Structures are given as C-alpha cells and as structure tokens.
C-alpha cells in the first residue's frame, strides 16, 4: 500500500523539513516587523548609520528581498531534492 512506500515517506520527511524552516523564517520575520510597528514604532524612525534612510525603511526593503529569496530557495530545493523523489514514485506507478 501507499503508506508503506519508503520513497513516499522520504518525500514527506524532506518536504516537511524544507517547508517548516522557510515558513518559520517568513512568519517570524514578518511578525517581528509588524510587532515593532505595533509596540515600538519610534525604533523604526531612527536613522540608519550615517545615512538619510531610517532603520524601518532599510528593514522593510530587506523584508521584501527576503520574501523573494524564500521563494527562490524553496524552488531551488524542491527541484533538487523533491523532484527526483516525486519522479521516482511516478515512474514506479506507471509500470
């Protein structure tokens, strides 16, 4: 049966590993950002080093970049680690 399939269990495990890590990063980064706005908005108004940017604007831009990078990392890992397993299961079912 399906449930005893070793490769499928491996697929589940690897997928969970990849997904959990990236989900935690995304949710943590976003809610930290929102929490600063909610509890300590002045912090984001501080100038960033010697520039005319504020810390909030720098972090906001970095967060946009991070969100994109998370999707890149996921697709890279999914194609590298998950796709071979999925292909293996698919071929074994076509036989």
Partner 1 sequence: MQESQDLNFIAILMFSIFVLITLFITYWAANQTKTAKGFYTAGGNITGLQNGLAISGDFMSAASFLGISGLVYLSGFDGLIYSIGFLVGWPIILLLIAEPLRNLGKYTFADVASFRLQQTPIRTLAALGSLFTVILYLIAQMVGAGKLIEILFGLPYYVAVIIVGGLMILYVTLGGMLATTWVQIIKAILLLSGASLIAFLVLINFNFNFDSFFSAAVNFHDNGNAILAPGGLISDPVSAISLGLALMFGTAGLPHILMRFFTVKDAVEARKSVVYATGFIGYFYLLTFIIGFGAIILVSSNPEYLNADGTLVGNNNMAAIHLAHAVGGDLLLGFISAVAFATILAVVSGLTLAGASAISHDLYANVFSKSVNEKKEMMISKVATVALGIIAIFLGIIFEKQNVAFMVGLAFAIAASTNFPILLLSIYWKKLTTRGAVIGGGAGLMLAVLLVILGPVVWVDILKNSEAIFPYKYPALFSMAVTFILIWFFSVTDKSKTAKDEHKKFDSQYFRAQTGIGIEEGSHH
DSSP 4: G
Q: Which of 92, 93, 95, 85 is nearest to 7 (CA)?
A: 85
Please tell me whether residue 75 binds partner 1 under the rule CB under 8 A: yes
User: Within positions 9 to 28, which residues make up the interface with partner 1, using CB under 8 A?
Assistant: 11-12, 15, 19, 22-23, 26-27
* Tokens linked to 55: 């810390």
Contacts of residue 70, defined as CB under 8 A and 6 or more positions apart, other chains included, come to 22, 25, 26
Residues at the contact surface with partner 1, assessed by CB under 8 A: 2-3, 8, 11-12, 15, 19, 22-23, 26-27, 30-31, 33-35, 37-39, 41-42, 44-45, 51-54, 56-57, 60-61, 63-65, 67-68, 70-72, 74-75, 78-79, 83, 86, 89-90, 93
């Amino acid at each position: 049966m399906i449930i005893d399939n070793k490769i499928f269990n491996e697929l589940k495990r690897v997928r969970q590993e990849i997904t959990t890590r990236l989900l935690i990063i995304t949710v943590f980064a976003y809610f930290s950002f929102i929490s600063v706005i909610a509890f300590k908005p002045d912090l984001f108004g501080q100038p960033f080093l010697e520039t005319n940017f504020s810390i909030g604007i720098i972090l906001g831009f970095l967060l946009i970049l991070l969100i994109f990078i998370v999707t890149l990392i996921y697709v890279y890992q999914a194609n590298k680690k998950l796709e071979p397993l999925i292909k293996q299961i698919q071929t074994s079912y076509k036989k």
